[in-house]
Structure 1
């Protein structure tokens, strides 16, 4: 009898271990269903139409008001600058809304138990939801950009496909980072109300609090409170050397952990836009001509990768242990 009990216990332990493992086929199945549901609900097509309209409207404005830019061959540069400022705000909002009910909605309605009664582990569901929602955002971005490319090329005349593609790629990576944050938070909340509050909190954190931090740091540095202080550096202004001041290195590190700032920095690497490169040159002057590692373009991809991996890792650990 003790042998039978031990065997049963062993079977249960094995089953519990298997249920928490990752099955790529299950992940793919969950992601595929999630994507197909979005297509059937017209969410995907609505997002594609939105991105298409955004690009066409900005391009139309540039072609109408930017004759001087066209003469300089800088229209694609300005398109990247203007659209990136809009997508920097819009893409996170879309990602947070898409990820909001991804798992919290399933838990609230009880359908998560039906989903888990199929051969899917909790990790499969979490990863599948992330991949499915990321695919909705990424493919809709791609469709919108590709369809708009013909109109953009026709209206701008001078059209740099490399810069245009760089903007698309960077926007997708940026969107996936926010999607990881959104889906991960959704998996950690038991209701859509709590999940919605979490999404709102994320937006406020990065677009209100994070932006206010720099002003707070400047104020503290002006008064030399605690370890806050300015660093003096020499710059060239109108052909003459001048002394200027900047914040401490660690302050810039904190500010650049913002996904939005990483998105902007990444565009400098993937595009050849003068405005972005000039800002990079100004930043280099502040640090004696060579940017520290955390301000270099390639590091922005590492920051976005961390925003994808870290929330997901926490969610995979916690979601496997919460009571549904």
Structure 2
């Protein structure tokens, strides 16, 4: 006689099983060229940007200023690069095993489908995170040598937020990989995600401004006074709700959330200009803590949907 609380292997979640899948996935990845290539890439990125700043920034009086510029420029680069890396890491995570048939071997072990999905997500997230940490830590010695000194808090803050940003895209990638039958379809889905956020979403601001100029429905502009270099100027901005939509982009949220963990003057300047657009105080949906919640949303929601769908697909 079965109990209502009995869970089938395909639908239950076992922490030890998730850990086992994640450990094997991470170990397989760390022995590949991908892990060391990523670590070397992040190391080279930081050292190159630092070298350029040091060479062209001799007129910067304070070393902290150089760190501020380093964090700003690296964040602008990682905003584009990390999604590409995360999407590539997650591309074949499950679709590849479904295509080869090895997913059935994996599921013949005491792992449920949910265990496999969550384990793959943790494993791929760990690969990206450790690659970032290794690259940043190794580069710290060179960065300190080139700059003489640097602000460790801002440096670590950038690393922490970059990891969370990377996990958000890894969650999207692994989730899509779990609901596609082949690596070709999964690859197309990854391209679609990148195009959506870096082509379509980035053009929304232009589209919104064009609609506002044409006085389209719900696109009434708002006038405001801004002070730039001691001079007051009159300007117009889009209605509030458009900025909420724009900030739902993980990259936009990442740029705003950096103020939670860093104290970078160039980023603070952008925040100040945005505050002036809204009368001196940012609305809730543009504040850094809300942007952090948006990143968490992109981690939790895709995998929650995938957990439901992957449990029901025909392997």
The interval holding the TM-score normalised by the smaller chain is over 0.9
Q: Offset at 1:77?
A: 0.7
Q: How do 1:282-297 residues align onto structure 2 when only pairs under 5 Å count?
A: 282-297=273-288
CA distance 1:72–1:106, change in 2 (3 Å):
closer
Residue 202 (structure 2) aligns with = 211
Pairing 1:244–2:235 present? yes
Q: Distance in 2 between matches of 1:73 and 1:138?
A: 26
SS of equivalent to 1:159: coil
Unaligned runs of 5+ in 1: 1-6
Pairing 1:99–2:94 present? no
SS of equivalent to 2:8: helix
CA distance 1:240–1:154, change in 2 (3 Å):
closer
Identify the match of residue 166 of structure 1 among 127, 146, 157. Answer: 157
Residue 68 (structure 1) aligns with = 59
Identify the match of residue 32 of structure 1 among 23, 27, 30. Answer: 23
CA distance 1:237–1:277, change in 2 (3 Å):
closer
Unaligned runs of 5+ in 2: none
Q: Offset at 1:236?
A: 2.7
Residue 42 (structure 1) aligns with = 33
Q: Distance in 2 between matches of 1:75 and 1:151?
A: 14
Asked if structure 2 preserves the Cα contact closer than 8 Å seen for 1:70 and 1:156, the reply is: no
Asked if structure 2 preserves the Cα contact closer than 8 Å seen for 1:27 and 1:125, the reply is: yes
Q: Offset at 1:241?
A: 3.9
Number of residue-to-residue matches in the alignment: 315
Q: How do 1:270-285 residues align onto structure 2 when only pairs under 5 Å count?
A: 270-285=261-276
Q: Distance in 2 between matches of 1:86 and 1:190?
A: 33
Residue 122 (structure 1) aligns with = 113
SS of equivalent to 1:245: strand
Residue 224 (structure 1) aligns with = 215
Q: Offset at 1:201?
A: 0.2
Give the structure with higher Rg (CA).
1
Q: Distance in 2 between matches of 1:240 and 1:127?
A: 54
Asked if structure 2 preserves the Cα contact closer than 8 Å seen for 1:63 and 1:70, the reply is: no
Q: Distance in 1 between matches of 2:60 and 2:169?
A: 33
RMSD: 1.5
List structure 1 segments (4+ residues) > 3 angstroms apart after TM superposition.
13-16, 70-73, 237-242
Q: Distance in 2 between matches of 1:18 and 1:71?
A: 60
Q: Distance in 2 between matches of 1:238 and 1:179?
A: 41
Can you list the C-alpha shifts for 1:101-156, whole angstroms capped at 9, x where unaligned? 00000000000000000000000000000000000000010011001101001101
Identify the match of residue 183 of structure 1 among 170, 174, 179. Answer: 174
Asked if structure 1 preserves the Cα contact closer than 8 Å seen for 2:51 and 2:146, the reply is: yes
TM-score normalised according to structure 1 size: 0.94
Q: How do 1:45-56 residues align onto structure 2 when only pairs under 5 Å count?
A: 45-56=36-47
Asked if structure 2 preserves the Cα contact closer than 8 Å seen for 1:220 and 1:229, the reply is: no
CA distance 1:75–1:241, change in 2 (3 Å):
closer
CA distance 1:95–1:70, change in 2 (3 Å):
farther
